[in-house]
Copies of this chain bind each other. A is one copy, B any other.
Amino acid sequence: MKKILLLTVVAFAALCGNAQQALWGGSQIVSPEINPDNTVTFRLVAPKAVKVELTGDFIPTQKIKTQYGEFDAPGVAQMVEKDGVWQYTTPAPLAPELYSYTMLVDGLKINDPSNVYRIRDVKSVTDVFIIPGDRADLYSIKDVPHGTVSKVWYNSPTLGMNRRLTVYTPAGYETSGKRYPVFYLLHGMGGDENAWTELGRASQILDNLIAQGKAEPMIVVMTNGNAALEAAPGESSLGFTAPSMNLPKTMEGSFETHFPDVVNFIDKNYRTVKNKKSRAIAGLSMGGFHSLHISKNNPDMFDYVGLFSAAIDPGKDVKSPIYADGDKKLKVQFDKKPALYWIGIGNTDFLYQANKAYRQKLDDNGYKYTYYETPEGHIWKNWRIYLTEFVPLLFKK
């Protein structure tokens, strides 16, 4: 009887595999396969396809002309069929990095059916893999003490709603009895409270930097910067709505106005050090914009500020008091000498000129800041780099 049951389980599992294979044309192929020399092979079984292509951030971009001008568009590589399997191997080893890709089957964009590791970025779901080594080792899960990542709801009296955020507490937080500094880390347009842990590998970066003794143990708070929303798509009472780049109440002052509610909530619910020199704020793109304006409007709240590929100025028609008297507020902020004011941007970023102008303003006024320039543009690769550079500088004074 016992043996029969076990066999039934095995048979059932085998059947599921076989039935699936027979019905859905799947096969036990490996894709992507990271070869010993760090070239990568991609595979797809699509017997009736005429043309299969691969697109990914490791394939050289191509110039396209649009009504807005000439731009770099994602590159495309041809996959070649052999023995019923479409295949592509990168011509050269890939450098250590977190890469993303999708496939194009006769023009239809699909995720790699052999890869379950996917990340959503606004509306796009791409397949991902990591080439380990160098800085990318910070993006990998290592056998080191791990912090806790929590999805937490807070009430905002200012916005009159319950909202969701992601909190990283460092390894040992639960039992140490200690108080910790807090780093508020903000996402960009179209993002949400999941962006920094999913696309940004924030919890891996923090775990690894802390384990290596390169960063102070700290709490990291990742908010949702879309003030009209409770939470990320699919995580609120709105249900499974389509993600959007065009959300209301993102860069018009509401999020910045409500931000002290977040700080109050965190200070009330976590063992924090409740002072300026134990608080940092940084963000990417729209989140850099938020960080700039929140820190300027609350000059006694944050001693560390990071602008990652930040948008700088609000739209001309935006009338929130948050953006009024900007230069005066900036003077107040810098008169108090922030411990760190950090600006990072890629040299092909579409916000590069705006950042250059902003740096000029800081220079003209003698406001001290740290500047970090990278190649490439407005991409997660750069934001992960900026995070690994910024975090070791925090709370060292």
A→B interface (CB under 8 Å): 1-3, 5-6, 8-9, 11-20, 23-26, 30, 44-50, 55, 64, 66, 68, 71, 73-74, 76, 102, 104-111, 113, 115-118, 120, 123-125, 128-130, 132, 140-143, 145-146, 148-153, 162, 164, 171, 174-175, 189, 230-231, 233-237, 239-240, 242-243, 245-246, 268-269, 311-316, 350-351, 354, 357, 378
**Which 7 residue pairs spanning A and B have beta carbons closest together?**
A150-B150, A48-B106, A25-B107, A24-B109, A6-B315, A146-B153, A174-B269
Q: Are B13 and A246 in contact (CB under 8 A)?
A: yes
Partner of A140 from B23, B150, B239 at Cβ < 8 Å? B239
Given contacts A12-B378, A46-B106, A141-B231, 14 further A-B contacts (CB under 8 A): A9-B311, A18-B66, A19-B64, A19-B73, A24-B104, A26-B109, A111-B125, A116-B242, A129-B240, A132-B239, A140-B237, A141-B236, A148-B151, A175-B269
Q: Are A146 and B164 in contact (CB under 8 A)?
A: yes
Residues of B near A18 (CB, < 8 A) are 66
Q: Are A141 and B235 in contact (CB under 8 A)?
A: yes
Residues of B near A118 (CB, < 8 A) are 118, 125
Q: How far is the CA of A3 from the CA of B142 in the complex (A)?
A: 46
Q: Are A237 and B143 in contact (CB under 8 A)?
A: yes
Max chain B C-beta neighbours (<10 A), residue from A2, A235, A269: A2
A-B contact pairs, 13 of them (CB 8 A): A6-B315, A13-B245, A19-B64, A47-B107, A108-B110, A110-B110, A116-B123, A116-B125, A116-B242, A140-B237, A141-B231, A143-B162, A150-B151
Q: Do A354 and B106 contact each other (CB < 8 Å), given the known contacts A130-B239, A141-B236, A234-B117? A: no
Q: Do A153 and B145 contact each other (CB < 8 Å), given the known contacts A2-B315, A111-B111? A: yes
Residues of B near A128 (CB, < 8 A) are 240
Counting every copy of the chain, the complex holds 2
Q: Are A242 and B74 in contact (CB under 8 A)?
A: no
Q: Do A117 and B240 contact each other (CB < 8 Å), given the known contacts A68-B11, A316-B2? A: yes
Q: Are B107 and A113 in contact (CB under 8 A)?
A: no
Q: Are B2 and A48 in contact (CB under 8 A)?
A: no
Residues of B near A315 (CB, < 8 A) are 2-3, 5-6
Q: Are B107 and A1 in contact (CB under 8 A)?
A: no
Residue of B nearest to A174 (CB): B269
Q: Are B237 and A108 in contact (CB under 8 A)?
A: no
Q: How far is the CA of A74 from the CA of B145 in the complex (A)?
A: 43
Residues of B near A111 (CB, < 8 A) are 110-111, 125
